[in-house]
Amino acid sequence: MPGDGIGPEIISEGRKVIDAVSELNGFEIDWVEYNNGAEKYLKTGELITEETLAEIKGSCKAIYLGALGDPRCKPGILEKGILLKTRFYFDQYVNLRPIKLLDGVDCPLKGKGPKDIDFTVVRENTEDFYVGIGNRVGKGNSKQGLEVLRELYKVKFGLDIESTDEIAYQIGVMSKSGADRVIKYGFELAKKENVETVYFVDKANVLSDIYGFWRERVELQAKNYPGIKPEFMFVDAITMWFVKNPEWFKVVTTPNMFGDIITDLGAMIQGGLGLAPGGNINPDGISMFEPIHGSAPKYKGLDTANPLATIWAGALMLEEIGEPESKELIVNAIQEILKEGKVKTKDLGGTHKCSEMGSAVAEKCKELFQ
């Protein structure tokens, strides 16, 4: 699903690289293209339908997404109507975002290098303030019914509002099962990678109901992981420590909204948004892979965007569908290209095109393959 803005350009480079490694490693990828995005929405009013989602569910192993968002549409229409809709539909409850500074990439943090910036953010991806319920109400009395309908659970709110001013409100929801599964994912990742401390993000000093609950669920589950220590950090503080002592972090587990915020910061300390990939994971279902960055409409069609975040996201996708060697190969190729520093897109201080970077990575995969 190439999407909007620079989406089609970067996805086409991702496909170039994946097609190259699939040939090397002897498997076949059958691409099915979905053109959901601004163009389709403006022409037909369609965002993404249940039929399309059901078709994907019935026939695809994973989704490779470019980016969504277009200045011709009101902010949030495409993001909520396609991106969040798809994340929720497939119950992709983990947003996995590796924050890894590769050799050869300039780090904006003085004195820090690749060994200092190498961790994973496990972001909850279906709840919190992202459930999309809220409203604006005028002065006076009103009644509102709001609901969150999920496979995992259903919640209905009946609100009886009496207000002396016009107000807007937004409700964040965290469920026991929703929190537990992502907390478990964080602990399991730490166990697999022999990590001693998992950092858990919250703002329990102010939003104490929702994030107090989060802390409680973490503490309960920590009992199942005797060798691993949970460390709680407030979201404001963790932004400071990401900059000051990024080497402390190996696994960071966070509720949805704070995860959104801190992973843009994470992208910057790993060298910029052009280098930051992510995966929306449902360990038992269909996952979706995309760069962390947006659709950058200003650069649409110019062939200047950096496709490496998307190519890297493609590598994560191959790992998820059972091709770990291909993932390794692509990540190594990206690493080599950056270390050599001969091919650089604009964001990396060079003049190479998006398509030249894609070709360079595909070539490097062939060279490294034996």
Which parts of this chain interact with ligand IPM (CB under 6 A)? 79, 83-84, 260, 292
Residues 11-70 that bind Mg ion (CB under 5 A): none
Minimum Å gap between C-beta 161 and ligand IPM is: 27
β-pairing, 154-163 vs 140-149, is antiparallel
CB 87, min distance to ligand IPM, A = 8
Nearer to ligand IPM, 84 or 190 (CB): 84
Sign of the CA dihedral running 224, 230, 232, 238: negative
The contacts of residue 152 (CB under 8 Å, 6+ apart) are: 91, 175, 177, 178
Q: Considering the complex, what minimum distance in angstroms separates the CB of residue 264 from Mg ion?
A: 6
Q: 251 is in the binding site of which of ligand IPM, Mg ion, none (Cβ under 5 to 8 A by kind)?
A: none
- Residue 323 partner contact from ligand IPM, Mg ion, none using kind-dependent CB cut-offs of 5 to 8 Å: none
Per partner kind, with CB cut-offs from 5 to 8 A, the member of ligand IPM, Mg ion, none near residue 315 is none
Secondary structure (3-state) at 151: coil
How far apart are CB 82 and ligand IPM at their closest, in Å?
10
Q: In this structure, how many other beta carbons lie within 10 angstroms of the beta carbon of residue 232?
A: 16
Residue 334 half-sphere exposure, CB side, CA atoms within 13 Å?
29
Whichever of 80 and 215 has its CB closer to Mg ion, that residue is: 80
Per CB under 5 A, the segment of 22-30, 203-211, 252-260, 347-355 that binds Mg ion is 252-260
Query: Is there a contact between 206 and 239 (Cβ–Cβ < 8 Å)?
Result: no
- Scan residues 256-285 and list those touching Mg ion (CB under 5 A): 260
CB of 92 or CB of 345, closer to ligand IPM: 92
b (16+ CB within 10 A) / e for 46-73: ebbeeebbeebeeebebbbbbbbbbeeb
- Contact partner, 83, from Mg ion, ligand IPM, none, Cβ < 5-8 Å per class: ligand IPM
Q: Give the shortest CB-264-to-ligand IPM separation in angstroms.
A: 7
Residue 125 C-beta: closest distance to ligand IPM, Å: 8
Which of 292, 304, 289, 260 shows the shortest CA–CA distance to 6? 304
305 binds, among Mg ion, ligand IPM, none (CB under 5 to 8 A by kind): none
Which of Mg ion, ligand IPM, none is residue 296 near (CB under 5 to 8 Å by kind)? none
Strand partners, 291: 277
- Return d(Cα 116, Cα 368) in angstroms, integer: 26
CB 185 within 8 A of CB 147: no
Cα 347 from Cα 108, distance rounded (Å): 13
Mark residues 213-242: x for contact with Mg ion by CB under 5 A, - for none.
------------------------------
**Please, what is the minimum distance in Å from the beta carbon of residue 260 to Mg ion?**
4
List residues binding Mg ion (CB under 5 A): 260
